A = this chain, B = another copy of it.
């Protein structure tokens, strides 16, 4: 076993994996605390956060280099989902390095570090497989949902634009109401007050709420189907083995 192979075993081993998971979690918590302290005018611990960020930069960079190194098809990895995520996990910290202070906005990209963690969650593969199976339905439902949001916004704009022009004055404004209502969030910042608007809302919600709930039901069903099929296959194999 050559050096590369040894490294691969280490990188894919539970110790290294555990350290990376821990780092991602700590990084997320640090980001959270940092955002909390930004409200203070003077933060005596400001340098601590800078130091921590340099540490994260170094450690995630080492991880990235290692992952590229052990990969036989380097190019495929760099362009893969996790390759890009791993790169995005380093980039935002570069903002702190003098000379790279481009934009404060970039620092927000650090939240993408969290996506590195999905690699370690079991059953995510199974779920993406299930999603791929119902790809067409999901696309159709997303388009239909967007159409429903648009049509609901048009409708409520028609009924409410004169009474509440600040909230339903344009279709764009009404779309905010449509999303908040059809997802059943219902903040209460915008709601119809005219009789026509209320009847229209009743009609649209009773239909629309169902439409938007279908995808998750579909995914749940397909995941269960996949599980049953797997069990069937395992059972058949056992019987064949006898």
Contact A187 B176, beta carbon cutoff 8 Å: no
Smallest distance from the beta carbon of A164 to chain B beta carbons, Å? Answer: 12
Closest to A126 in B: B137
Residues of B within 8 A of A211 (CB): 216
Residues of B within 8 A of A114 (CB): 147, 150-151
Task: Mark out the residues of chain A between 185 and 229 whose CB falls within 8 Å of any chain B CB in the assembled complex.
Answer: 185-189, 191, 198, 201-202, 205-206, 209-225, 227-228
Contact B111 A154, beta carbon cutoff 8 Å: yes
Partner of A205, one of B35, B179, B213, B217: B179
- Asked if A127 is at the interface (CB within 8 A of a chain B CB), the reply is yes
- Asked if A14 is at the interface (CB within 8 A of a chain B CB), the reply is no
- Asked if A80 is at the interface (CB within 8 A of a chain B CB), the reply is no
Binds B, one of A52-60, A83-91, A167-175: A167-175
- Asked if A41 is at the interface (CB within 8 A of a chain B CB), the reply is no
Smallest distance from the beta carbon of A190 to chain B beta carbons, Å? Answer: 9
Partner of A219, one of B151, B155, B217: B217
Contact B206 A209, beta carbon cutoff 8 Å: no
Rounded to whole angstroms, the CA-CA distance of A223 and B165 in the bound complex is 42
- Asked if A139 is at the interface (CB within 8 A of a chain B CB), the reply is yes
- Asked if A47 is at the interface (CB within 8 A of a chain B CB), the reply is no
Binary contact track A126-155/B, C-beta < 8 Å → 1, others 0: 110000011011011001110101110011
Residues of B within 8 A of A150 (CB): 28, 32, 111, 114
Binds B, one of A63-71, A95-103, A116-124: A116-124
Residues of B within 8 A of A206 (CB): 145, 179, 183, 212
Contact B227 A228, beta carbon cutoff 8 Å: no
Rounded to whole angstroms, the CA-CA distance of A180 and B122 in the bound complex is 27
Contact B220 A223, beta carbon cutoff 8 Å: no
Contact A209 B209, beta carbon cutoff 8 Å: no
Closest 8 interchain pairs by CB?
A217-B220, A221-B224, A185-B186, A188-B188, A36-B170, A123-B140, A213-B216, A210-B216
Interface residues of A (CB under 8 A from B): 28, 31-32, 35-36, 38-39, 105, 108, 111, 114, 117-118, 121-124, 126-127, 133-134, 136-137, 139-140, 143-145, 147, 149-151, 154-155, 157-158, 165, 169-172, 175-176, 179-181, 183-189, 191, 198, 201-202, 205-206, 209-225, 227-228
